[in-house]
Amino acid sequence: MNEEVYVTAEGLEDMEKELEYLKMEKRPAVIEALKEARALGDLSENAEYDAARNEQAEVENRIKTLEQMLEKATVIEKISTDKVSIGNTVEIEYVEDGDKDTYHIVGSQEADPFENKISNESPIAQAILNLKVGDIGKVESPNGEYEVKILNIH
């Protein structure tokens, strides 16, 4: 992971909280579960021990990932609304059918389609980055190309 990780201030705070939780609460709980599972005896057929080891690996991997992301984090400051950039909320209209959507453009680590947070690496974001209100962008998708018009930038 050599590239910058773009995050909002809120996303950075969430990552820091998750890291602290994993280090201060989850890791000690997993270590305790390992101790208890070891105390049950034969480790070769000990399902509790295997489960605790798997959980420990997941926790340690997530801690490592979060530490690397935080090290490379670039916080998206409040940015201009003159043109679309990471951190903006953008209202678009699909030119073909007139449907409208609003997306918040965030770094890939914060993307959440259920909250209309799309990654700056997504096809729609790539098509509209640096466009201004009234501009039309061509979105490349697996189902073919389509156009979206920028209605508003917040």
pLDDT digits (tens, 9 = 90+) for 71-126: 999 998 767 889 999 999 999 999 999 999 999 999 888 999 999 999 999 999 99
Q: Given pLDDT bands bounded at 50, 70 and 90, which one contains residue 2?
A: low
- CATH architecture observed for domain 89-153: Roll (3.10)
Tens-digit pLDDT profile for residues 19-44 = 999 999 999 999 999 998 888 877 77
**Whether residue 130 has pLDDT greater than 90:** yes
- CATH 1.10.287.180 range(s) for the chain read 5-75
Counting Cα atoms < 13 Å in the Cβ hemisphere of 15 gives: 25
Considering the segment(s) 5-75 as one domain, its CATH architecture is Orthogonal Bundle (1.10)
CATH 3.10.50.30 in the chain, residue ranges: 89-153
CA dihedral 40, 43, 47, 50 (to 10 degrees): 120
| The model's pTM | 0.75
Q: How far apart are CA 3 and CA 19, in angstroms?
A: 20
